[in-house]
């Protein structure tokens, strides 16, 4: 569990992606820098801001993480558009950004699933006891040997 003052890894990942996008947009041709580049930078900043908000606002965390997942998908679309417009100075740069965005999406998806899945700890707090399935009973063994 991360402390209140130490951000989770997804915050560092959003920060790194934002910085890498800023560097890439600087290399865009002038025509793309002020159109698709500005949109890409704005979307990356939205992802970064919303990730921080989701981390800090515990009361609305599930809702904000859900929005973060959508924001990352939108960022991926912006990256794809910039590639199709040949805005990147190299395919390697695009590929690196796409990989970072994919990893970020996986982290956000995992965070979202973890928040939406009922945990055993929450079930115990509400008075419902949960146990794992016992596989070593005679009935289970007899069924497996048949």
What pLDDT does residue 4 have?
63
What pLDDT does residue 131 have?
47
Confidence of residue 143 (pLDDT cuts 50, 70, 90): low
Asked if 58 contacts 104 with a C-beta cutoff of 8 angstroms, the reply is no
Confidence of residue 38 (pLDDT cuts 50, 70, 90): very high
Asked if 93 contacts 27 with a C-beta cutoff of 8 angstroms, the reply is yes
Q: Quick one: which of 11, 38, 10 has its CA closest to 24?
A: 38
- Please state, in angstroms and as integers, the Cα–Cα distance from residue 66 to each residue in 4, 50, 112, following that order: 21, 10, 6
Q: What does the pLDDT look like over 83-120, one tens digit per residue?
A: 999 999 999 999 999 999 999 999 999 999 999 887 64
Asked if 96 contacts 20 with a C-beta cutoff of 8 angstroms, the reply is yes
Residue range 35-50: mean pLDDT, rounded = 96
d(CA 36, CA 25): 9
Q: Quick one: which of 62, 51, 54, 56 has its CA closest to 122?
A: 62
């Amino acid at each position: 569990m991360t402390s209140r003052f130490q951000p989770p890894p997804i915050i560092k990942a959003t920060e790194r992606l934002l910085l890498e996008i800023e560097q890439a947009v600087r290399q865009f041709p002038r025509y793309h820098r002020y159109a698709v580049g500005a949109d890409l930078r704005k979307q990356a900043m939205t992802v970064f801001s919303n990730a921080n908000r989701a981390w800090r606002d515990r009361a609305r965390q599930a809702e904000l993480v859900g929005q973060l997942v959508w924001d990352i998908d939108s960022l991926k679309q912006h990256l794809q558009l910039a590639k199709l417009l040949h805005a990147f100075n190299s395919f390697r740069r695009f590929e690196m950004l796409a990989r970072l965005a994919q990893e970020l999406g996986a982290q956000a998806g995992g965070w979202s699933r973890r928040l939406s899945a009922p945990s055993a700890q929450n079930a115990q707090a509400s008075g419902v006891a949960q146990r794992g399935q016992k596989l070593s009973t005679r009935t289970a063994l007899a069924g497996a040997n048949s």
